[in-house]
Chain A
Amino acid sequence: MKTNKFMEELFSTIPPEVEREVTLSFDIADNISNILERKKLSQKQFAQMIEKKEQEISRWLNGSHNFTIKTLAKISAVLDVEIQDIICKPKQPFIILMPLTSNTLNIQPNIENKKRIKQTNYCYENYWS
């Protein structure tokens, strides 16, 4: 990251509670967006399903909405996901180093034994549970 001094100072003075609050709003927005994408639902369809206006859904997805427990519960019910899937850190595509050995699998030791596992929108925690 190449950041000038001004930006460094600017970001370093954000109170931790504000940073956590805004980051959580972004996490929720990204998770809902990912779930809609995974379920092949447009914002319009989701708005109809949850009986809200499309503008309201846009506000939910812009990273600054303060979600109530009631709203989170409704989103979770309508999208048929756990609330945890909505509030967790959004998942990035990741690479798992498989616990392979050259003996057990009869492969050359220098073969790259990384295997890309399917991209999933679930949280790490849920993936492993």
Chain B
Amino acid sequence: MGQKHFDIELLGNNDIVGLYSIKEKGSTYTEFHKFIFEYSEKYPQDINILKSHLKNIQNRGALERYFRPESTFADRVCAIPIEATKLRLYCIRISDEILIIGNGGYKTTKTYNEDPLLNKHVETLKRIDKIIRRKQSSKEIEIHKTLLKVSLD
């Protein structure tokens, strides 16, 4: 089965940070939409904490210390580290000013890669981060403060 293709979609930006998500080509919803639709009813309290965490990031920036690295030091994939919940939301932190929010799920295993669903979401973000890095090197990407313009093709 071939790899899925994604676009990057702006969710909102201000002077401090630009929040983005990824959207599979042909899909109506971003991965972040899907995450919210999937877990809002199952874990309303946890989703409210995550929403509030994102709102604070929107007001303060996507500072490194607000995230937990999830993968290796070679990529910028991280999780929003909510202590009170096992619900994980994965992101790519490009800088203090640009955050790409992906998908996630409820963690029942010790590490994300033991869970097929979580592993899939993290691997997707790792692949996208790799593309973005490559395009940054070849200057095929526009980053201006909180604005990110890139084609993932």
Contact = CB atoms under 8 A, between A and B. Distances in A.
Interface of A: 1-4, 6-8, 10-11, 13-15, 18-19, 21-23, 26, 29-30, 33, 58-59, 61-66
A79 B1 CA distance: 56
A13 B47 CA distance: 11
B60 A26 contact: yes
A1 B48 contact: no
Given A58-B65, A63-B66, A66-B83, A18 B12 contact: no
B interface bracket (residues with beta carbon within 8 Å of A): 20 to 34
Given A18-B49, A64-B53, 19 more contacts: A1-B58, A2-B12, A3-B12, A3-B13, A4-B11, A4-B12, A7-B11, A11-B55, A14-B48, A18-B48, A22-B53, A29-B66, A61-B65, A62-B68, A62-B81, A63-B65, A63-B66, A64-B83, A66-B83
Interface in B1-50: 10-14, 19, 33, 36, 45, 48-49
Interface of B: 10-14, 19, 33, 36, 45, 48-49, 51-56, 58, 60, 65-68, 80-84
Given A2-B12, A18-B52, A29-B65, A64 B81 contact: yes
